[in-house]
Each structure stands twice: as C-alpha cells, then as structure tokens.
C-alpha cells in the first residue's frame, strides 16, 4: 500500500498570492501532476491541514477543483488556517464519516487503517485534541488492535527547534502520548504545519512532518529567529506499507534531470570514461 501525504497547500482565491509572494495554486497544480504521474500510483492521498489560507468557501472550492483529476481518494483534515466547519461544508463526504463537531474519522478501506485527527482550535494557531478527540482515538484504536494504523493530525506533538512554530504546536501532546502507548498497532504519526520535512520519535514510534508543495518555513534554529519562509524545493511524502512495516519517502515535486543508468549495456558499472 502506498499512502501519499500532501500538506499546507494554503490555497487562496484566484488572483491573490500568499503573503503577496506565493502562487500556492500553481504549486498545487504541480503537485497534483506529480502525484498523478507516480508509478506505482498511490492508493490514497491524505491532506494534513491548511488546505486553504483563510478558510473561505472559494478557497476550498479551488482546492477541490485543482485536485479533482486525481485518480485516488482524498482524505483531508483541518489545519489552523482551516476550520472543522469550513472543511466539513466543503467536503460533505468527509463530514459524513465524522461524528459531528470535530472532524475525526477512521478510513478502513485499505491494508493500513488511516486514523485522521482534528487538532484545529477555532481562530487559534496552536493545536489541541481535547478530551473528546482523545477518548474517540482511544476507543477507535481499541476496537481494532490488530489493524496496522497510521495516525494523522496537523499540529506536531513535538518541538522542532523552530521556536515560532513550536509555540503553536499541539498543546496536549502528553495526553496523546498516553493514548498511543496503549495501542501498539499504530505504525507512525504524520503531521503538517511546519512546511518542511522533520523526523522524530513520538510515543515510541516514528513521527514525521511533511513539507509543503509551496513555501517552506525557514530552517532557523535561533530561538530569536523571526517567522519567515523560503522557497525551497516543493515536496510531499510517500508512506509505503509492505511486509508489516512502514517506510516514508520524501518525493520532490518538479522536473529533475534523469533517470541516468548506473550500468551500461554490458552490465558493467559506467565509469564515465567510455
Ligand atoms: Fe501551514
């Protein structure tokens, strides 16, 4: 099973650039073309929040239009730039999977169970699951202890060292860790929010942050660093499940020179002298 993860697309209404600089829709177009061309084709796409820049209906509509041609099912959760209500209104099929209010839902259609968590807090940049979502997660995982599972949420429950982002990460990380420690079938935790690839361990298993296909939060580990972004190579994550294990690849979006063969027609390694 191949799970593609896209995050922090920050789509805006036509004619406007994020922060006056970033044409996020053009970057999403490139990412969609990249996803559609991948072989083998990902079985599913998860989108870990900040689909939109301002939680506006026209931004969700544009996100949906830009991703409509994707051949795989798309499962989004809200980030701090979205809202549960806004995303639910734009994706009634997703809202129907959740119990109402928080957009928590599990996808049971694949070899890996996808457990999607809503960490958004209305009008606040930080994340919080709250007692309701934590109880829901505990019960959902307890109901299928033998099903390999991937847990997804927008806000990372660990510090990255990028201070201005860490102050708006998941507030109830300790409570999430307590729940996950009870459920050994959770293979990994995947997040967004920080717009760059970050790898960590959380609750004794791999945890990762997926890059954005658009702008990257600047890698500046000075605690006094101002909030800035760089236009780094756009990317997304591919989580490959095989033989009971999960491996995560960073896939750069865009045209890159290659493929170049390692071996010549004579099956010998090319040494560059011929
Ligand atoms: Fe974001």
pLDDT at 274 over 70: no
Every domain of the chain and the residues it spans = 2-252
pLDDT at 273 over 90: no
CA of 272 to the centre of ligand 1 (A): 44
CA torsion, ordered 237, 244, 98, 128, to nearest 10 deg: -60
pLDDT at 213 over 90: yes
| DSSP assignment of 154-198 | SS-SS--S-HHHHTTSBTTHHHHHHHHHT-TTEEEEEE-SSSS-E
Copy the structure tokens of residue 206. Answer: 């791999």
Note if the bond before 87 is cis, omega within 30 degrees: no
Give the integer Cα–Cα distance in Å for 3 and 39.
13
CA of 18 to the centre of ligand 1 (A): 11
CA of 8 to the centre of ligand 1 (A): 4
pLDDT at 128 over 80: yes
pLDDT at 46 over 90: yes
Interval 148-200: pLDDT, tens: 999 999 999 999 999 999 999 999 999 999 999 999 999 999 999 999 999 99
Across 254-270, average pLDDT: 94
Report the percent of the chain where pLDDT is more than 90. Answer: 97
With the C-alpha atoms ordered 244, 248, 253, 255, is the resulting torsion angle positive or negative?
negative
CA of 195 to the centre of ligand 1 (A): 6
**Homologous superfamily, domain 2-252:** Metallo-dependent phosphatases (3.60.21.10)
CA of 198 to the centre of ligand 1 (A): 14
CA of 212 to the centre of ligand 1 (A): 8
CA of 177 to the centre of ligand 1 (A): 23
pLDDT at res. 99: 85
Phi, psi of 100 (to 5 degrees): 105, 150
CA of 140 to the centre of ligand 1 (A): 27
Q: Which residues partner with 199 through β-bridges?
A: 208
Average confidence score pLDDT of the chain: 97
């Amino acid at each position: 099973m191949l799970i593609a993860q896209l995050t922090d697309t920050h789509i805006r209404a036509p004619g406007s650039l994020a922060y006056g600089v970033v044409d996020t829709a053009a970057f999403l177009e490139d990412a969609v073309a990249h996803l559609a061309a991948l072989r083998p084709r990902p079985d599913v796409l998860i989108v870990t929040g900040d689909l939109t820049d301002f939680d506006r209906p026209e931004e969700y509509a544009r996100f949906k239009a830009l991703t409509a041609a994707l051949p795989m099912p798309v499962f989004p959760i809200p980030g701090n730039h979205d809202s549960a209500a806004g995303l639910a209104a734009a994706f009634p099929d997703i809202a129907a999977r959740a119990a109402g209010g928080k957009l928590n839902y599990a996808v049971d259609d694949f070899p890996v169970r996808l457990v999607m968590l809503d960490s958004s807090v209305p009008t606040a940049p930080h994340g919080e699951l709250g007692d309701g979502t934590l109880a829901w997660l505990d019960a959902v995982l307890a109901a299928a202890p033998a099903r390999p599972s991937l847990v997804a949420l927008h806000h990372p429950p660990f510090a990255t060292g990028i201070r201005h982002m860490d102050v708006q990460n998941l507030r109830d990380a300790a409570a999430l860790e307590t729940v996950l420690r009870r459920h050994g079938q959770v293979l990994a935790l995947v997040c967004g929010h920080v717009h760059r690839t970050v790898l960590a361990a959380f609750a004794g298993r791999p945890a990762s942050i997926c890059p954005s296909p658009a702008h990257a939060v600047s890698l500046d580990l000075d605690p006094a660093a101002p909030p800035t972004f760089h236009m780094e190579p756009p990317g997304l994550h591919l989580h490959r499940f095989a033989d009971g294990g999960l491996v995560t690849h960073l896939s750069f979006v865009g045209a890159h020179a290659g493929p170049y063969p390692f071996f010549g027609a004579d099956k010998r390694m090319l040494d560059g002298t011929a």
